A and B are shown apart, each in its own frame.
Chain A
């Protein structure tokens, strides 16, 4: 009877103490450095990787024409605005001719004057010819002297020469006129190809220097992406590879394209390889030149090899490898890796076989002495 009383009391106390002790033991073992590290595992899988390269670039026009005067001058008029479509040969604007028009007029007058002089020379030559013929006939009939005939012959020769000089003079005048006209037409800014006006750098009335671009025209059909790839991840980049282009303003849409060529000169400062990517079909509406784009170049699929997720790659003492789990024991395995794809799968060339179990995620850094237990998902991570 006595024991029953005592036992009841003791039991009640144990009911309070026991969970406390249990909690304490749990706390001691499961948290802090004594605890075992939760890890997730995976096995090496045979997978045919489809590697891809990722780069960024800007939309550029392949051909960009900067149209401007070859002499310093003032812009007289511009007929186009940004965004206008122009045809080949279309006049876009004109520089101020200054005195060219007057000089052309002067030249035209000079031509007329030279033609008049030419007619004059022709008339003289005709006369001299007639005279010379007559004196030749007279000489033949011994009516006139040798000297007179010689004089007439000489006059003919002089008149011929004068006529020839007058003709050349007129030609020269015409050539100079043509030169002035050419100069005059140079003042016109003409679109070399059909395209789109992308910039108007100077408005009418502005003085520009020789070579300064007044209007820029691009060929919209020739838009490409000027892409840059980190050299370290540009293995396999080659012309002709299919590419997916995502413009910054059109995030959800993939535009198909392909690599046109790889620039022979890389950027040594930024350590990037440059390449040009063209769109398979022209885009409409046109993306603005200079818009950022992300490109993904699809490389040909590789034969199936054992692969692991790149989250499993760890470095211990400078060697890269993975933590292998064999029968619950942890061991670090240095691995030689091959190619990888953009989803994080990496080929294993040496060090692991298909079906080997390895640690992917771990709560803490692992050492050879760590105790681990396998979970499906680490705590705190949402699925």
Chain B
């Protein structure tokens, strides 16, 4: 088992208290190695959003451990003080919708993250440009989000997720609004980026088109996960 990537042990999340308490996550155990792209599949209400939020340090789990890049970030309570910095530096997000900042152009949308981390503007923009090139949208680097097509926006969003070289990326239904060709393109990019930057990527999805591409899949139902081998094909 590699020391990097993300590992979750016995993570539980309870909403509410007493009789009305709901156990959204029950002893979830997961791990993703750097460079791996795993799928997290489950019906709605299964707790996958909750799991994602816990992974993204957006909500507080109730108990368990979360280890990121060989550092325990949560052990029955948060071990880091600045969750914002954690999200900024260690976790990348790719959403269903691109959620680009409408008043920044593509480059600045991506470069914003390193800038927030204190990276000088020129270097941040340089990194942004590199990623945009890797994602093949460099020709739209100056365009405002409103001028980009859906696919272009999604790619810029992916670039933003990657720009700080986080060890883990959480992708929530990234291909839901896309057709099969574009969906495959996105998955290919994710795999590509994961390999290149040694990032662990967790893709929450129920998109039939891309499920076959995962080598490993975590199914989640009623807060319980179990691992399964995926087909791992279609990426060539």
Using CB atoms and an 8 Å cutoff, list the residues of chain A in contact with chain B: 1-2, 5
Contacts and interface: CB of A to CB of B under 8 A. Distances in A.
9 contacts: A1-B141, A1-B142, A2-B105, A2-B107, A2-B125, A2-B141, A2-B142, A5-B105, A5-B142
Contacts of B142: 1-2, 5
Contacts of B105: 2, 5
Is the contact region of chain A dominated by helix, strand, or loop, or is it mixed? helix
Which of B107, B125, B141, B142 has the largest number of chain A CB atoms within 10 A?
B142
Contacts of A5: 105, 142
Contacts of A1: 141-142
Interface of B: 105, 107, 125, 141-142
- What is the predominant secondary structure among interface residues of chain B facing chain A? loop
B116 to A, nearest CB: 19
A5 B105 CA distance: 10
Contacts of B125: 2
Contacts of B141: 1-2
B30 to A, nearest CB: 41
A74 to B, nearest CB: 114
A5 B107 CA distance: 12
Nearest to B125: A2
A278 to B, nearest CB: 94
A1 B106 CA distance: 13
Contacts of A2: 105, 107, 125, 141-142
Contacts of B107: 2
B2 to A, nearest CB: 39
A1 B107 CA distance: 12
A246 B199 CA distance: 111
Nearest to A1: B142
A11 to B, nearest CB: 16
Nearest to B107: A2
A2 B106 CA distance: 10
Nearest to A4: B142
The 9 nearest A-B residue pairs measured at CB: A5-B142, A2-B142, A1-B142, A2-B107, A5-B105, A2-B141, A2-B105, A1-B141, A2-B125
A9 to B, nearest CB: 10
A2 B140 CA distance: 11
A7 to B, nearest CB: 12
A1 B141 CA distance: 9
A2 B143 CA distance: 9
A1 B142 CA distance: 7
Given A1-B142, A2-B105, A2-B142, 4 more contacts: A1-B141, A2-B107, A5-B105, A5-B142
A10 to B, nearest CB: 14
A173 B141 CA distance: 150
A5 B108 CA distance: 13
A345 to B, nearest CB: 71
A169 B105 CA distance: 150
A5 B141 CA distance: 11
A2 B105 CA distance: 9
A2 B141 CA distance: 8
Nearest to A5: B142
A60 to B, nearest CB: 93
A2 B110 CA distance: 14
A263 B207 CA distance: 124
A331 B142 CA distance: 64
B124 to A, nearest CB: 13
A6 to B, nearest CB: 9
